[in-house]
Structure 1
């Protein structure tokens, strides 16, 4: 579906049937999505390229508002990486369950 421009790629977290790692498979899907966009096939045939920046900015703003309302906003204060709770670590953009657990497992940190 991605190659035909009918789906987008977000998170991929398992090994593919071909044995590709999640990162390799995610890159493969992103490449397919980019090719579909360049060829203007599927849903991409109807994309208004002049509106992409404003639509993406609007989407990011909406996501930030949803995150704030759900208590998922990034922390605004300094965190002590040696004592901060797992849920607080996960509020940092890019830190999910896996990385939060790794950070906690490798405590203490010097700094």
Structure 2
């Protein structure tokens, strides 16, 4: 669910424990995950194109494992953002903040 690495899993847990939960943060995390899934589709298309060219271009075969590794990493990243988005959406909006922790999130410039 969290891709690779216990440190990444712990970072996701710390984020969801520290940041005040809200529908806006859930939406933001979902949009980040959606962008990563878009990148995954682009990379899958690139792998398919490379596979179609293997017979004509021997170098294409060497590029495929690299792209497949990138795909695995992106899929893990998309799963992490989905988990964070779900954690924010499944919690009450007015959760008490932990006074030992704080977080600052900037959502674009405000005038």
Question: Which TM-score bucket, shorter chain as reference?
Answer: 0.3 to 0.5
TM-score, length basis structure 1: 0.34
Higher helix share: 2
Higher relative contact order (CA 8 A, sep 6+): 2
